[in-house]
Every structure is written in structure tokens, then in C-alpha cells.
Amino acid sequence: MQPQPFSLLITAAEKGELSAGTPTKGGIFTFNFRESIENNLSPLAKNVSWTNLVTTAKSQTISTAKRTGGRQPDQRLIACKQSPVFRMSRALESFENQKPAGEVFSEMQSILHRY
């Protein structure tokens, strides 16, 4: 199968929301996205796909944000609402459906090592 370009666009929060973080973990979404990748960096992992990784990171971010206080620009501290958004190209969707889990694993591993 000939490799085809694909895109995966991710933002840490919806329009109108602030992206939160902590001094120790950094951005809530970035932390959860990286954790999601690391948790799937096993050749024994099942259902490895970009969709599953991003969906897991999204749900963990929403959950973590609800438990995190967010400092607003006017210095008020309120409960944080952060809902990541992602879109993937059709090329990536069809590519995932045809690709063995081991190849997805290798691809994710090479991306993680860049950071």
C-alpha cells in the first residue's frame, strides 16, 4: 500500500474556552495526549488507532479540567471547562482501518520520541 499524506488537527479546547495547565504537568490536554500515546506503546496493545488515542485524551482532559480550578483573566478562580476538538482527514481514517496495530504502534512511537 502506497503511503498517503494525512492530517490530524487537534486543539486543546473549544472556541471560547481556555486551555488550562499546571506548573508540574504542563497543559492538561498535552499531558493526557502524551499519556494516551505512552499507554499504547506496547506491541500487545489492542485497538491502537489515532481515533482511540485522541478520544481517550479528550475524555481524560474533560474529566481532569472539571477537577481543576482555572484562573480567569480578571483573576477569578472558577471550575475549568476544557473540551478538546479533533478532526482527521479521510485518508487517515481509511489508513487506520487497513493498517496492522504494529504499524500504528511504530508510527506513534516515532512521534513520541520527537518530544
Count CB neighbours of 58 within 10 A: 21
CATH topology of domain 8-14+25-112: Alpha-Beta Plaits (3.30.70)
Q: Average pLDDT by consecutive 10-residue portion of the chain (115 residues)?
A: 69 89 90 88 74 90 86 78 84 54 60 58
pLDDT of residue 31: 95
Cα atoms found within 13 Å of the Cα of residue 72, Cβ hemisphere only: 9
